[in-house]
Amino acid sequence: MAVDLQNRLERGKSSTSRSSLAEASSDGSTYSSLNSFELEIIHIFVQTAQVLGLPKSVGEIFGLLYCSLEPLTFDEIMLRLKISKGSTSQGLRFLRNIRAVKTTYMAGDRKDHFVAELRLRNLSAGFLRERIMPHLENGEERLNNLQQILDHSPPEKRKILKERMSYLFTWNKKARGLLPWVLKFIDT
Amino acid sequence: MAVDLQNRLERGKSSTSRSSLAEASSDGSTYSSLNSFELEIIHIFVQTAQVLGLPKSVGEIFGLLYCSLEPLTFDEIMLRLKISKGSTSQGLRFLRNIRAVKTTYMAGDRKDHFVAELRLRNLSAGFLRERIMPHLENGEERLNNLQQILDHSPPEKRKILKERMSYLFTWNKKARGLLPWVLKFIDT
DNA sequence: CATAGAGTTCATTTTTTCTTGAACTTTAGG
DNA sequence: CCTAAAGTTCAAGAAAAAATGAACTCTATG
């Protein structure tokens, strides 16, 4: 099982078969490899990231934080997931932008400590706000421009095309009206 | 002309040049190039396709059909959009699978004639059914497996991790329960 | 202020995804 | 049955997206 998960998550990386949830490191490195619980949670978020059109690394980072009992530092995230500094930095930035991750300050430590937003409602809100709303708003703007173009088209077509456009307008408006409602519904 | 189309579809920020709606072809080809109305509608659907993680060609095909007053044949789609046979075939297949496009039969013509589903409600339904539901169902299954893994973990952690998993379960269930509602809401 | 630690940036490389088109299957009509 | 038109398939090439890591900025402290 663990091997299977390992393979799915990190294709082609050397993986020491790890059967249990032990956190000891067998290769002498400071950071433990991922246990099967973590691998599975991470996998779920990686898949979700892909459905949403986000980079895998974003899913990995969020998944790791989601099942961590304490805040993790930049280095811990980077080393445990075996991803680069750049991916870690950009992934964390994205996650902070959509409020999926926040930082906590730990006394006497200069490093940032990252925590996942566990209330998925807030997570969804951030995603909808940062990604979906802009798209819908841009669409509305474009539709407005379109109406002008349409005024120059042959009258016999104009009526039908106007109708089609009005469907799009309606749909756009409804989709935007839907978002707050969706958020309320999944308010976990 | 072809270059212009390409540019406008790909990086369509400069949408102001609305020259004419004429359908005459200036390069001698059988199929007319796209007019500015079509270009703009197609652009909207291409963008949407990208948000949804679908190939550009799928957005192009749907956009073209969406603003066509008559059913179009395979060749018309291919030639007007200047995309390959393969892309056309696969794009149309995908669109038919999610019920975004259907074929009509025209007397005395062996070719398929394709029409866009104008009721965006049905379109959304197909997309949710074919793309989102499978993901949510897969997620639920994985979460079920996870519970077993969790039973082997240290008791002091188990409680907290179980709680986090239960958030995920709840979220998953709610998301699935939401879909029918969303569809009803956008029933245009 | 000089420095080292913490994180960011971004040109390059790597990986993934999309498109292409030649070869293939299927089917209507002769 | 054959043929040719209509569409499909899929290996290979092209394009797009993501990951990498060296060079960079910023800042808290000695």
CATH of the domain at A76: 1.10.10.10
B111 touches strand D (CB under 7 A): yes
Of chain A, the percentage scoring pLDDT greater than 90 comes to 72
Closest-CA distance, A125 to chain B, in angstroms, reads 13
A61 touches strand D (CB under 7 A): no
Interface probe for B, chosen from A151, A171, A172, A176 (most Cβ of B below 10 Å), is A171
> Quick one: B91 and B152 in the same domain?
no
> Quick one: B148 and B89 in the same domain?
no
Read off the pLDDT of residues A112-169 as tens digits, 9 standing for 90 and up.
Answer: 999 999 998 999 999 999 899 999 999 999 999 999 999 888 898 999 999 999 999 9
Q: Which residues of B touch A128 (CB under 8 A)?
A: none
* C-alpha–C-alpha distance, residues B96 and A93, integer Å: 39
Last residue of a domain, one of A70, A90, A116: A116
* C-alpha–C-alpha distance, residues B66 and B115, integer Å: 8
> Quick one: A136 and A106 in the same domain?
no
Say if residues B63 and B80 touch (Cβ distance below 8 Å): no
- At A30 the pLDDT is 57
Closest-CA distance, B56 to chain A, in angstroms, reads 14
Instruction: Among B52, B66, B186, select the one facing A175 at the smallest CB separation.
Output: B186
> Quick one: A180 and A105 in the same domain?
no
Q: Which residues of A touch B116 (CB under 8 A)?
A: none
> Quick one: A104 and A21 in the same domain?
yes
* C-alpha–C-alpha distance, residues B141 and B52, integer Å: 23
- At B21 the pLDDT is 40
> Quick one: A82 and A60 in the same domain?
yes
Interface probe for A, chosen from B36, B37, B39 (most Cβ of A below 10 Å), is B37
Mean pLDDT of A24-48: 78
Number of domains in chain B: 2
B58 touches strand D (CB under 7 A): no
- At B30 the pLDDT is 56
Q: Which domain holds residue A131?
A: 120-185
> Quick one: B23 and B75 in the same domain?
yes
Amino acid residing at A27: D
pLDDT at A98 over 90: yes
> Quick one: A92 and A44 in the same domain?
yes
* C-alpha–C-alpha distance, residues A154 and A129, integer Å: 39
> Quick one: A109 and A135 in the same domain?
no
Distances in whole angstroms, Cα of residue A136 to Cα of each of A54, A73, B45: 18, 36, 12
Q: Do B174 and A186 touch (CB under 8 A)?
A: yes
B104 touches strand D (CB under 7 A): no
- At B33 the pLDDT is 85
A13 interfaces chain B, CB cutoff of 8 Å: no
* C-alpha–C-alpha distance, residues A132 and A139, integer Å: 11
Lowest-confidence region among A7-11, A21-25, B19-23: A7-11
Last residue of a domain, one of B97, B116, B135: B116
> Quick one: A102 and A155 in the same domain?
no
- At A153 the pLDDT is 85
- Per-residue pLDDT tens, chain B, 188 aa: give them: 333 333 333 333 333 333 334 443 334 345 778 999 999 999 999 999 999 999 999 999 999 999 999 999 999 999 999 999 999 999 999 999 999 999 998 888 899 999 999 998 999 999 999 899 999 999 999 999 999 999 888 898 999 999 999 999 999 999 999 999 999 998 87
> Quick one: A18 and A82 in the same domain?
yes
> Quick one: B139 and B96 in the same domain?
no
Alpha helices in B23-118 (DSSP H): 36-51, 56-66, 74-81, 85-97
Mean pLDDT of A27-41: 78
Last residue of a domain, one of A99, A116, A133: A116
Q: How confident is the model at residue A16 (pLDDT cuts 50, 70, 90)?
A: very low
* Residue of higher predicted confidence among A171 and B17: A171
Q: Which residue of A has its CA nearest to B170?
A: A188
- At B15 the pLDDT is 32
Instruction: Among B51, B119, B182, select the one facing A135 at the smallest CB separation.
Output: B51
Token pair of B173 as six digits = 């269930």
- At A28 the pLDDT is 39
Residues 87 through 126 of chain B touching chain A, CB cutoff 8 Å: 118-120
Instruction: Among A67, A153, A174, select the one facing B186 at the smallest CB separation.
Output: A174
- At B187 the pLDDT is 83
Mean pLDDT of A169-177: 95
